[in-house]
Structure 1
Amino acid sequence: MFERETWRSEEKAAFLVKAGVLLEQGYTLHQALQLLSWEQPYKVKEKIMQMIEELLAGTPVHDMLAHHDFPSDVTAYVFFSEQGGGLAEGLIGAGELFRKRLKTWTSIRQLLRYPLILVWAVVMIAVVMVQFLFPSFRELFQSLDIEFPLLTRMMIVIFQYVPYLLFGMVPFVLLGVLYYAIRFRQFAPDKQFALLWKIPFLQSYLQLFLTYYFSLQFSSMLKGGISIYEACQVFEKQHHFPFFQLEGTLLKQKLKEGKPLSAAVENSGWYRKDMKYVIQHGQEAGKLDEDLRFYGERVIDMLEARIKKTVMTLQPSLFLVIGSIILIMFLSVFLPMFQLMSSIQ
C-alpha cells in the first residue's frame, strides 16, 4: 500500500493539541513527542524523531516547529506562550488556531466548488458553440440570406474577443507575480500591511486578525507574570511574525515616552478602536490578561462569522451571474432556430 509522504496540515494541528494535552497531564515534551510518534506513519514518525533530536540539541520549541514547516503565525503563538511560561496552553491554542484556519478554508472551498463547476460547464458550452454550432448556423443563414438575431451576433463577437482578452490578462498577472516576488516581499512588514490595508474589502479582515492576535498573545504573556513593557520586548525579539516584531519596537518606544498601553495601541491604527477600552478596563480592574483573552476570543468569532457571511453572499451572486450567462448563451442558440422556423413558414 502506498504510504503518504507528507504531514498533512490537519494532522499537524491535531499533533499540537495532543502534545499540549500531554504536557498538561504531566509528561515532559520529550515524552509527549515519543508517545505521539507511536501512532504516526513512518514518514511522520521520522519527522517527530528529528524534532526530538533538535530539542535534545537545545533548539527552542518554536524554532523546532518552524524547521518542520509549521505556519509562521502558529510558531509565533508557541513562542509567546513559551515566554509566558505556558507552553502546554500555547501548544493547544496554536493547534486550535491552526484548526480554525483550516476549517475556514475548507468551508470556503466547499462553498465555491459548485460555482467553479458551473464556470467549467460554461467554458465547455462556449467552446462547443464557437467550434460547431455557430459555424453551422452561419453557413445555413448565409445560404438562406437571413441575418442572425442581434443577441446571437453579440455573442459571436464576444466569443471571438474573449480569448484575446484572456491572453491580454496574462502579462498583467505575470507583472503582479514579479512585483510580489521582487518588490513587495522586500518592503518592511508595516509597509506590506499598509498596502494591503488600502484594499477596501481586505482592511476589516486584517484589522480583526491583528486585533485578535495581539490581544491573545499579550494576554498569554501577562498571565505568565510578564509586565506590559516586557511583553513588548518579547514581541520585538521574536522573528516568526515580522509585523509584530516591528510593532513591539514601536509600542515599547511609546511606553518609554510615558504613554499608557491603551493610547499606544490606539495611535498605531492597526487595531479595532474598542480594544483601547478593553485595555483601560482591564488595567483598572487588575485583570488585563483575562479581559484581553475574553476580547480576543470574541474577535476571532467575529472574524469567522464575517468570512462565512462573505462567502455565503458570494456564492449566490456567482450562481446568479453564471446562470444569467448560461441563459443568454442558450437564447443566442435558440433564437436563430425560431427565426429560421418563422422564415420557412
Structure 2
Amino acid sequence: MKTPSIDISKLFQRKPLSTLDQIDFLKRLADLLAHGFTLSEAIHFLLQHLHIRRQETRQQITQALQQGSGCAKLLELLQYPQTIVMQVYFAELFGELTTCLISSIDYMERQRQAKQSLLKTLQYPIVLLSIFIVMLIVLNQTVIPEFQNLYETMDVNLSAFQKGLTQFIVLLPPSLFFTFIIGSCVTLLLIVFYQRLSPPYRIQFVLHVPYLKHYFKLLKTYRLATEFSLFYRNGISLNKIVEIYTSQTKDAYLNYLGHYILEHTEAGSPLGKTLASLKCFESELITFIEQGQKKGKLDIELKLYSSILIAKIERKILKQLKFVQPIIFGLLAFLIVALYLVIMLPMFELMQTIK
C-alpha cells in the first residue's frame, strides 16, 4: 500500500472554524434542511453569516456548490473530523442526511464537553504549578545562593539528604524545560511517523500504546457500529458494504477495512470472526453482530450500541480525569515541602552552631 505523504505545516494550521462554530453550523444546517431548504440554499444562506478564518476556504466552498458537490465535501473543506465526514457521506447515499447531522452534533458536543472537562481539570493546578516554577527560578537566582554562601561562611555541614534536596530544587526548572522540549519533539516525530504508516501498521502501533488503545478501540467500534447500522437499515448487503468501503480513496482506513473483510469473507470467515481478528474493535461489537444477524434486527441493535458507546467513552474520560487533579496537587505539595526543607533545615543547623 502506498505510504501517504505528510505536510507537517498542516499539523499547526488553524481550522477554518472553531469546534463551537462547527457544531453551530451543523445545527443550523440541520434546522434549515428540516424546514425544506435544499443543501445549496442552506449553505448559501449560512455562508453569509459564517465567520470562516480563511477566505480561500470560502471560495472553495462556493466553487464546490457550483459543481454540485455534496455535504460531505463541504464539511471536508471546513476540516471536520474524518469520522463525521464519512458518516455524512454515507448518509447522503441513502437520503438520511438530516438524521445523520443530528447524531453528528451529539457526537461533537460530547467530544467538546470532554475537552472542556479536561481543560477545567488541568487549568487551575497547572497555573499554580507554573507560578511555583517561576518563583523557584527567582529563588534559585537570588535567595538560595545567599543562604548557601551564609552556610559556607558559618561552616555549616549539610547532610547528603540536604545536598541532594538542594540540587533537586536547583536543577528542577531547567530539567522541566528540557523535558518539555524533548517531549514536544518526540510527540511531533511520533505523529509524523504514525501518519506515514499504512492502516494495518497504524492499528498495531496504537494497540501497543497502553492508555491510548482503549479509546482507539472505542472510537473505531463506534464508527463501525454507526456506519453498519445505516447500511443495514437501508437494506445494503455485506457485499455492497465491502464494495463501498473498497472504493474509498480518501479514507485509507475504510479502504483497508473493506479489502480485509472481502479477503476473509471470501475465505469463508463470518463477519464477527473477521472483525475480531482485526483486534481494533470492542468484543461487545462482535457479540452484537452475531446476535443481531440471528434475530434480523442488526441495524436497530447497532444503532443502540453506538449510543451506548458514546456514553461509555464519556464516563471513561470523566472517571480518569478525577485522578488528574489530586496527582498534580500532590506533586505541587511535595515541591513546596522540598523547597521549605532546602531553606529551613540548614537554618536549624546554623542555629545549633550559634548555640
In the superposition, the TM-score normalised over structure 2's length comes to 0.86
The answer to whether the aligner puts 1:177 opposite 2:150 as a matched pair is: no
Deviations 1:76-108 (A, max 9, x none): 221121233311122222232222222211111
Q: Is the 8 A contact 1:266 1:276 kept in 2?
A: yes
The answer to whether the aligner puts 1:140 opposite 2:150 as a matched pair is: yes
Instruction: After superposing the two structures, state which structure 1 stretch, 259-268 or 110-119, moved more.
Output: 259-268
Residue in 2 aligned with 1:75? 85
The within-5 A match list for 1:112-261 is 112-148=122-158, 150-162=160-172, 163=174, 166-167=177-178, 170=181, 174=185, 177-178=188-189, 180-181=191-192, 183-261=193-271
Residue in 2 aligned with 1:61? 71
Q: CA deviation at 1:239?
A: 4.1
Distance change (3 Å), C-alpha of 1:48 and 1:106:
same
Deviations 1:311-336 (A, max 9, x none): 11122112112211212212221222
Distance change (3 Å), C-alpha of 1:37 and 1:179:
closer
Q: Is the 8 A contact 2:16 2:79 kept in 1?
A: no
- Name the aligned partner's letter for residue 25 of structure 1: H
Distance change (3 Å), C-alpha of 1:238 and 1:8:
same
Q: CA deviation at 1:170?
A: 4.5
- Name the aligned partner's letter for residue 174 of structure 1: C
SS of equivalent residue, structure 1 residue 274: helix
- Structure 2 CA distance for aligned equivalents of residues 61 and 15 of structure 1: 12
List runs of 5+ in structure 2 lacking aligned partners: 1-14
What percent of counterpart residues are identical?
23
Q: Is the 8 A contact 1:13 1:98 kept in 2?
A: yes
SS of equivalent residue, structure 1 residue 16: helix
Distance change (3 Å), C-alpha of 1:198 and 1:223:
same
Q: CA deviation at 1:293?
A: 0.7
Distance change (3 Å), C-alpha of 1:255 and 1:21:
farther
Q: CA deviation at 1:6?
A: 5.2
The answer to whether the aligner puts 1:86 opposite 2:96 as a matched pair is: yes
Residue in 1 aligned with 2:293? 283
- Structure 1 CA distance for aligned equivalents of residues 119 and 333 of structure 2: 20
Deviations 1:115-151 (A, max 9, x none): 2112212312321221112211112112211123554
Q: Is the 8 A contact 2:243 2:258 kept in 1?
A: yes
Deviations 1:3-53 (A, max 9, x none): xx9532211112113212322332211222234345445869996675354
Deviations 1:289-324 (A, max 9, x none): 110010111112111111111111122112112211
Q: Is the 8 A contact 2:52 2:58 kept in 1?
A: no
Aligned residue among 312, 325, 334 for 2:335: 325
CA-based RMSD? 2.7
Distance change (3 Å), C-alpha of 1:210 and 1:41:
closer
SS of equivalent residue, structure 1 residue 199: coil
- Structure 2 CA distance for aligned equivalents of residues 261 and 106 of structure 1: 38
Deviations 1:208-240 (A, max 9, x none): 111111101111122233222212322232345
The within-5 A match list for 1:330-345 is 330-345=340-355
SS of equivalent residue, structure 2 residue 211: helix
SS of equivalent residue, structure 1 residue 270: coil
- Name the aligned partner's letter for residue 36 of structure 2: G
Distance change (3 Å), C-alpha of 1:164 and 1:277:
closer
Distance change (3 Å), C-alpha of 1:94 and 1:44:
farther
Q: CA deviation at 1:184?
A: 3.3
List runs of 5+ in structure 1 lacking aligned partners: none
SS of equivalent residue, structure 1 residue 200: coil
Residue in 2 aligned with 1:269? 279
SS of equivalent residue, structure 1 residue 58: coil
